[in-house]
Amino acid sequence: MPIYEYRCRQCGAEFERILPMEQAAQGGPPCPRCGSDQIERCFSLFASFARQGGESRALGGSSGCTTCSTSRCTTCPR
C-alpha cells in the first residue's frame, strides 16, 4: 500500500498514512492533532536506487550526484 502525506488546513499539522488507493481517493483520514476533516494531500518525493557493478546509484536526473545537478561535487558521497 502507498504512503500518503497530508496537511491539515485547520491546524497545519503534517502527517503520513499508509492507505489503500481507494480509501485515499475518497478523501483520506481526519487530522490526528485536531480531528478536522479539512485536510489536503501533499506531493511526496521518493528516491529510487539501482545496483550496478556492486555499487548503489540513485536513479533519476541526468547526473550521478544525488545532492546537486552536477556530475561531481564536494558534497557527493562518492
All domains in the chain, ordered by first residue? 3-42 (2.20.28)
pLDDT attached to residue 12: 96
Region 7-34: what's the mean pLDDT? 93
pTM higher than the cut 0.75? no
Cβ contacts of 31-35, under 8 Å, gap ≥ 24: 31/6, 33/8, 34/8, 34/10
In this predicted structure, what is the pLDDT of residue 62? 44
**What are the pLDDT digits (tens) for 34-55?**
999 999 999 877 767 777 766 6
